[in-house]
Amino acid sequence: MKIGPNEVDYVAKLAHLAISEKEKITFIGQLNSILEYVEQLNTLDTSQVKPTAQVVYTKTSTESMRDDSPQVTFSQADSLQNAPSKSAGHFKVPKVIADR
């Protein structure tokens, strides 16, 4: 599959990004380069490679995981203590979604 201007326009629209024609050409080249590399990886014989769920395991499957046990956390008051703006026990933040 090759990426063309229509696919870049579609993704930019989904992400609410305004991109120039020069950027579009750059993105087309970069995305096609990534897809070509993935195709190279797909040609490798991995039939003898044991599947893994996480690559950071060293000896046992739980070595890199901590126990899921209850721990002391901040109270609501402590969490809001240094907030620049708060109301009704919540952080107040600027609106980030534009009206449509």
Selection from 41-50, 53-62, 66-75 with the highest mean pLDDT:
41-50
Q: What are phi and psi of 92, to 5 degrees?
A: -105, 130
- Residue 42 one-letter amino acid: N
Correct CATH for 5-42 of 3.60.21, 1.25.40, 1.10.20, 3.40.50? 1.10.20
Q: Which residue has the tokens 């907030």?
A: 83
Q: Where are the domains of the chain?
A: 5-42
Q: What is the 3-state secondary structure (H, E, C) of 44-75?
A: CCCCCCCCCCCCCCCCCCCCCCCCCCCCCCCC
- The pTM assigned to this predicted structure is 0.49
Residue 64 predicted with pLDDT over 70: no
- Split at pLDDT 50, 70, 90, the class of 53 is low
CB 1 within 8 A of CB 34: no
Tokens standing for residue 57: 């395991």
